[in-house]
A and B are shown apart, each in its own frame.
Chain A
């Protein structure tokens, strides 16, 4: 059997980038495993990334080091360190490979990703996994608003892939979700699964007003539900994974014809 090779690209954000009065975001959608595959350390340092309204060399903002070789995109792993709280679009649009972000990350982490895996060892700010089509996104801490949702005006959010959030999620998680799976180990703030039309959201903690305007998909809340949406119809009491739930369909506020969402509540 051929040995699986692995290449590790280490990117550490330089301290001076975030040391000013203003913390100006750095945009790193150009730094995904598939885009950096095949590039030398020098070439990676020369990749242009936006810092505010100017384009800079990656090497001017990050300390860059490369270990090992890769024969395909899937063998590339990027490890990001330093203060990542204003580093936006980590892994956005990535197709393969792996990213490990050590710390809290800024908005759009894993947005529009199609494959590969991102692990965030900290919290992720808003729009993580937004319009995600595939791959895996693990957020060990909390996630901000619009997790796995859509960008403004769009009618489809996440369509595929798997997302796990170790902590809590802010409002509108999984809005317009059409496919894929989200597991939230903590609580969900208001309107998780808003406008959901497919896929599955599991909330192990509590949820407020989940499932509003749902037309499809499934939400399961293991904790308690506060402010249940008043336009859901109770169907039956049923057992899921050995536990009893009240099963509702909705949202009838979207008309009966379209109310095909399923909400399990304890």
Chain B
């Protein structure tokens, strides 16, 4: 391994450090960014665009649900077959790639960190087993905590401190990173084939989704958690849901975060920005969402932007997947997890010839273009829900080129002109803004900037992407190509991609958070928790927590109790 590396003549975009397209050398020693190096291997970036390694805030890349997606779609596997090489193991899959392909493809795009955003606690070992098998990428996973019976009972009784004790325990037990919310209450209702709107009572538990979101946001801020609660709210994918979305945002407005970050991250917001009352009068409400985000500081969003073509949808939101399968009649897998969560998976084809899909496609881009401050936005496709991550370069080229958007709109369903305002938006992202929404904002929102990710300041991880493009380039096709296959990707000071090919495959690390709770609260909570195990879980309490063997390359972040 090269111990010192010098990247010369790059045009650097490092938004966390305010570096906005400056010609600047980057020095790396022993995997970290340093002031200077003495005897380095030199990479001449030759005036190309240089950014920190990409940080994906939300992509379903590992775990039971992802693997069920792979398992039941051999026809998707067949699409991405690539033979092994001397270095790389075989690849398969397009929307549900195998673990090796996940690592290689992200690395080729210049990414070095990905957050798996939906880990069922009971199956956390599975998620970690897959994360370990993903080469190159550093990673973390968010456990699902919002439909858990323990959560529902503490929200009902209003014991936020005990709720905090529970989330601390479960984040530790799953080696997780934070609090994930998916259709709060609705997923529990789905165990009876029902669903919940924001203010409906959850069957038998007598709490509302609104209570759950608020309770979890408050409990999360009891600790110095690096990330806010990460919310997929109620009524995803339903026409007219933008009002539910805005009401959900309002629920947590008064809560003070422990540091300068939002209290709620709203994920794949495209799916939550719908107007109309049915699919017939369906329309974009991206403007309403963007206006709210522009006017408030307590919410961040990621896009969940659509990439046209066939994909595999998957979420813990069981009822939503059922609705989708009812529309398409295609194969459908559902997997409810006792006392905790659920999940559904079904293939889906986004077509630019279909009115609804066209509007969905436009909404993701509108959100990005109408939200003024890119520090509030992350680029995602909710991989693979709105399309596979391998389509990110297409999205980047769309955001950077009005011309490309116009050309696409011409070929799409006319609803784009009637039901969205995308064609009238002139804004174009520049490389600096792209760097924000693909690494800087995401690292900061996840609190990872304090742990070496998403920037190139001294002490940061030596994670660097060099794209084969000059800062002046505006041609959408060239932009797309450059972001698909990096000239170089450097991970922890090691060159992992050169000229779009993977050249080394180091193991990634798993980041996890250890919330530190008051022992008395923990003891009280534990009495109730052990009853749940004795009576209702189908596994023993002693066999539940993820053993250390499943996280061979750990990076622990402590989250002290806020006194």
Contacts and interface: CB of A to CB of B under 8 A. Distances in A.
Are A and B close enough to touch in the complex, i.e. CB under 8 Å?
yes
Nearest to A258: B329
Contacts of A152: 74-75
B75 A151 contact: yes
Interface string B60-81: 0000000000001111111000
A155 B330 contact: yes
B73 A153 contact: yes
Contacts of B73: 153
Nearest to A254: B329
A48 to B, nearest CB: 13
A16 interface: no
A151 B78 CA distance: 10
A152 B79 CA distance: 12
Interface string A15-33: 0000000000000000000
A153 B329 contact: no
Contacts of B330: 155
A259 to B, nearest CB: 12
A227 interface: no
A135 B63 CA distance: 43
Instruction: Tell me whether chain B's interface is mostly helix, strand or loop, or mixed.
Output: helix
A256 B346 CA distance: 22
Contacts, number: 16
Nearest to A155: B330
A152 B70 CA distance: 12
A243 interface: no
Contacts of A258: 329
A241 interface: no
A152 B73 CA distance: 8
A154 interface: yes
Contacts of B72: 153
Interface residues of A, number: 6
A258 B330 CA distance: 12
A148 to B, nearest CB: 17
Nearest to B73: A153
A182 B329 CA distance: 27
Contacts of B78: 151, 153
A153 B76 CA distance: 8
A59 to B, nearest CB: 24
Nearest to B71: A153
Interface string A231-266: 000000000000000000000000000100000000
Interface in B129-157: none
Contacts of B329: 258
A74 to B, nearest CB: 29
Contacts of A155: 75, 330
A10 B394 CA distance: 48
Contacts of B74: 151-153
A256 B78 CA distance: 33
Interface in A149-172: 151-155
Contacts of A153: 72-78
B96 to A, nearest CB: 11
Contacts of B76: 153
Interface in B300-337: 329-330
Nearest to B330: A155
A222 B330 CA distance: 33
A198 to B, nearest CB: 16
Interface string B73-117: 111111000000000000000000000000000000000000000
B314 to A, nearest CB: 16
Which of A152, A153, A155 counts the most chain B CB atoms within 10 A? A153
A258 B75 CA distance: 23
Contacts of A154: 75
Nearest to B78: A151
Most chain A beta carbons < 10 A, residue from B72, B75, B76, B77: B75
A154 B77 CA distance: 11
Give the interface centre of B72, B73, B329, B330 by most chain A CB atoms within 10 Å: B329
Nearest to A152: B74
A31 to B, nearest CB: 20
Contacts of B75: 151-155
B32 to A, nearest CB: 44
Interface string A188-216: 00000000000000000000000000000
Nearest to A215: B329
Contacts of B77: 153
B446 to A, nearest CB: 35
A204 B73 CA distance: 35
B560 to A, nearest CB: 49
A153 B75 CA distance: 5
A101 to B, nearest CB: 26
A30 B76 CA distance: 24
A155 B74 CA distance: 11
Contacts of A151: 74-75, 78
A154 B74 CA distance: 8
A228 to B, nearest CB: 25
Nearest to B329: A258
Interface string A111-135: 0000000000000000000000000
A173 B82 CA distance: 30
A185 B25 CA distance: 76
A164 to B, nearest CB: 28
A153 B73 CA distance: 6
Nearest to B77: A153
A193 B74 CA distance: 22
A96 B21 CA distance: 55
Interface in B422-457: none
Interface in B157-188: none
A55 B455 CA distance: 47
A152 B77 CA distance: 10
Interface string B343-370: 0000000000000000000000000000
A133 B73 CA distance: 22
A154 B330 CA distance: 11
A151 B72 CA distance: 13
A155 B347 CA distance: 11
A50 to B, nearest CB: 11
A121 B12 CA distance: 67
A152 B74 CA distance: 6
A237 to B, nearest CB: 32
Interface of B: 72-78, 329-330
Query: What are the 6 closest A-B residue pairs judged by CB atoms, nearest first?
Result: A153-B75, A153-B74, A152-B74, A154-B75, A153-B73, A151-B78
16 contacts: A151-B74, A151-B75, A151-B78, A152-B74, A152-B75, A153-B72, A153-B73, A153-B74, A153-B75, A153-B76, A153-B77, A153-B78, A154-B75, A155-B75, A155-B330, A258-B329
Given A152-B74, A153-B72, A153-B74, 13 more contacts: A151-B74, A151-B75, A151-B78, A152-B75, A153-B73, A153-B75, A153-B76, A153-B77, A153-B78, A154-B75, A155-B75, A155-B330, A258-B329
